[in-house]
Amino acid sequence: MDSKEKDFVNAKDIINQFTVIIRTTYIHDPGNIAVTTAMDRFIALMSPFIEAEGELMLDLRGEFFYINDKRVRYPLEFLPNFDFLSREFRRRGLGSIAFKDTLQHEDIRLFLKAFITSTFSETTFETLEESMSGIDSIKVGKLRKIKAASEGEPDVRRVVKKTYFNAVSHTRAVMSKLKAGEEVSMRKTKRVVESMVDLILEEEQLLIGMTSIKDYDEYTYNHSVNVSILSVALGQRIGLSRKALTELGIVALFHDIGKIEVPREILNKSTSFTEQEWDIIKKHPFWGVRALLRMKKIDYTSIRSAITSFEHHMYCDLSGYPKPRQPLELDFYSKIVTLADNYDGMTSSRVYARIPMPPDKALSLMMEKAGTQLDPTLFKFFTNMMGVFPIGTLVMLDTKELGLVYQSGTMFINRPQILVIINSKEEKVDGYVVDLTEKDADGKFVRTIVKTMDPNRYKINLADYLL
């Protein structure tokens, strides 16, 4: 093994072991034997780097980690830990950690304590940095955030909203052009999807949160964008490259393009479909293929889009539609889009079904289909991404507070962040965020979800809070 190969092995192992320490600390006290054993392994891996170069700088840049300015590549089995660590960094606004001199257990313990408790502060990075002011061997740097074009200050939510609604507007324009028989170029679509991919790599939870805000008046366009976002987010979780994520996003955005051929009076019908109307609806996969092959330029992406448009209602066991003449294996993108399409369809208001299904109920029903209609491995990644309580779920806490799931938990998927909208005195409040991983002095969780509620029953408009 040459020196470059050795550096690669050690670098990925260092990041993986650092994640192991953090994960273990979430479960055990920093003085626990499991944590100290993980520390020993981490210090042993770090020492050669620090001795050779004076320090080890761990940077998060976009979707990748760098050690001393060298990008760290990692095998697929390390993906869950690398993904977890990147989300933990972003959660704190943390961009880099510099390890200097000879590391001691006590330094790492102090860092871990500051790292865990900083999430309960409104100024996470500043709290982390201040708590570590006395630790000379470990220094932290701030994550470079997205900037609003019109201002010098970070305004991530504004960028997320603009990107989302720009995608909806673009989808509407593309469908109108295709319906009018005009040619459509993939170039602008690619730019729109690339902007969503960039945001998912930087602010996954915020963009996924946008998909929970439904609009039945613009269902077809919102649904297409939601499926694209959920598909790209899932693709990112399983380790697809940026180029593949962009391609997947385009494919997903066009999955329902065949509905431009469905008569408006059927699409907007407020009652159940007749058998004849349902037969027409089931033709939209064929019509999608035809529309996509009428694009200005036929390329690999448009062909891939046509395949997914044709297959997205077939299901893995081919129990859906259209029925193939002989058995086939669904395209990989089709399996991803089918998951996203199912979830968003069940949790959305339609003209004929104004009351959507609660997110947790939708996931439960999808779980029954995993292994038959839905790919079981992809579904596991999907549920891990969405959390046991997906963003937008209305929950009752044991403190009698009522709130909306605001961000999925990174370590404990059943302990997300909650935007409280009704306090323990049953008073309506503007909304304050609580983290369900927070513990009291006795090590007990401060808050726990008791049950989920139906926001429609309480006439709660998610957009009022999540936007």
pLDDT of residue 216: 55
pLDDT of residue 76: 64
Considering the domain architecture, whether residues 165 and 263 belong to the same structural domain is answered as yes
More confident residue, 356 or 404: 404
Q: Residue 73, Cα to own-chain centre: how many angstroms?
A: 21
> Residue 397: is its pLDDT beyond 90?
yes
Cα torsion at 435, 442, 92, 212 (round to 10°)? -10
Considering the domain architecture, whether residues 378 and 406 belong to the same structural domain is answered as no
Q: Domain for residue 43, yes or no?
A: yes
Range of the domain at 408: 394-466
CATH code of the domain containing 309:
1.10.3210.10
Considering the domain architecture, whether residues 315 and 455 belong to the same structural domain is answered as no
Residue 259 and residue 255: Cα distance in Å, rounded?
A: 9
Q: Domain for residue 253, yes or no?
A: yes
> Residue 236: is its pLDDT beyond 50?
yes
> Residue 400: is its pLDDT beyond 90?
yes
> Residue 371: is its pLDDT beyond 50?
yes
Considering the domain architecture, whether residues 192 and 86 belong to the same structural domain is answered as no
pLDDT of residue 285: 96
Torsion sign over Cα 370, 372, 373, 377: positive
Q: Domain for residue 149, yes or no?
A: no
User: For 95, phi and psi rounded to 5 degrees?
Assistant: -105, -30
> Residue 307: is its pLDDT beyond 80?
yes
More confident residue, 117 or 218: 117
Residue 467 and residue 464: Cα distance in Å, rounded?
A: 6
Q: Domain for residue 150, yes or no?
A: no
Residue 127 and residue 39: Cα distance in Å, rounded?
A: 23
β partners of residue 147: 154
> Residue 276: is its pLDDT beyond 90?
yes
Type of residue found at 178: L
Whether cis (ω within 30° of 0) applies to the bond prior to 322 is yes
Could you tell me the two tokens for 440?
């009291």
Greatest C-alpha distance within the chain: 75
pLDDT of residue 354: 52
Residue ending a domain, among 95, 120, 142, is: 142
Q: Domain for residue 370, yes or no?
A: yes
Q: Domain for residue 208, yes or no?
A: yes
Considering the domain architecture, whether residues 320 and 424 belong to the same structural domain is answered as no
Please, which residues have CB within 8 angstroms of residue 338's CB and are 6 or more apart in sequence?
Answer: 311, 312, 313, 314, 315, 316, 330, 373, 374, 375
Each residue of 96-110: pLDDT tens digit?
999 987 778 888 888
Report the range of poorest mean pLDDT among 224-233, 235-244, 431-440: 431-440
Considering the domain architecture, whether residues 201 and 114 belong to the same structural domain is answered as no
> Residue 46: is its pLDDT beyond 90?
no
Residue ending a domain, among 142, 173, 206, is: 142
Considering the domain architecture, whether residues 173 and 317 belong to the same structural domain is answered as yes
Q: Domain for residue 147, yes or no?
A: no
Residue 168 and residue 171: Cα distance in Å, rounded?
A: 5
Please, which residues have CB within 8 angstroms of residue 176's CB and are 6 or more apart in sequence?
Answer: none
More confident residue, 339 or 413: 339
Each residue of 71-98: pLDDT tens digit?
887 766 777 788 788 888 988 889 999 9
pLDDT of residue 205: 83
- Residue 177 DSSP symbol: H
Report the range of poorest mean pLDDT among 231-245, 290-304, 350-364: 350-364
Region for residue 72 given its phi and psi (left: phi exceeds 0; alpha: psi -120 to 50; beta: otherwise): beta
Find the length of the chain.
Answer: 467
pLDDT band at 151 (very low <50, low <70, confident <90, very high): very low
Considering the domain architecture, whether residues 183 and 130 belong to the same structural domain is answered as no
Region for residue 396 given its phi and psi (left: phi exceeds 0; alpha: psi -120 to 50; beta: otherwise): beta
pLDDT of residue 319: 95
* Contact of 337 with 368, CB cutoff 8 Å: no
Considering the domain architecture, whether residues 234 and 375 belong to the same structural domain is answered as yes
Each residue of 308-331: pLDDT tens digit?
999 999 999 999 999 998 989 999
Q: Domain for residue 148, yes or no?
A: no
As a whole-number percent, the residues of the chain with pLDDT over 70 amount to 90
Section 369-392 average pLDDT: 92
Distances (CA, A) of 134 to 111, 113, 130, 345, 467: 10, 13, 9, 52, 39
β partners of residue 60: 65
Could you tell me the two tokens for 77?
């089995």
Q: How many domains does the chain have?
A: 3
pLDDT of residue 152: 39
Q: Distance from first CA to last CA of the chain, Å, rounded?
A: 52
Predicted model pTM: 0.70
> Residue 340: is its pLDDT beyond 50?
yes
Type of residue found at 259: K
> Residue 438: is its pLDDT beyond 90?
no
pLDDT of residue 150: 39
User: For 367, phi and psi rounded to 5 degrees?
Assistant: -60, -35
Residue 137 and residue 103: Cα distance in Å, rounded?
A: 7
Considering the domain architecture, whether residues 369 and 415 belong to the same structural domain is answered as no
Each residue of 4-15: pLDDT tens digit?
444 444 788 899
Residue ending a domain, among 386, 419, 449, is: 386
More confident residue, 334 or 4: 334
Considering the domain architecture, whether residues 118 and 242 belong to the same structural domain is answered as no
Region for residue 416 given its phi and psi (left: phi exceeds 0; alpha: psi -120 to 50; beta: otherwise): beta
- Work out the mean pLDDT of the chain and round it to a whole number: 85
Considering the domain architecture, whether residues 138 and 160 belong to the same structural domain is answered as no
Each residue of 14-44: pLDDT tens digit?
999 999 999 888 888 777 888 889 899 998 8
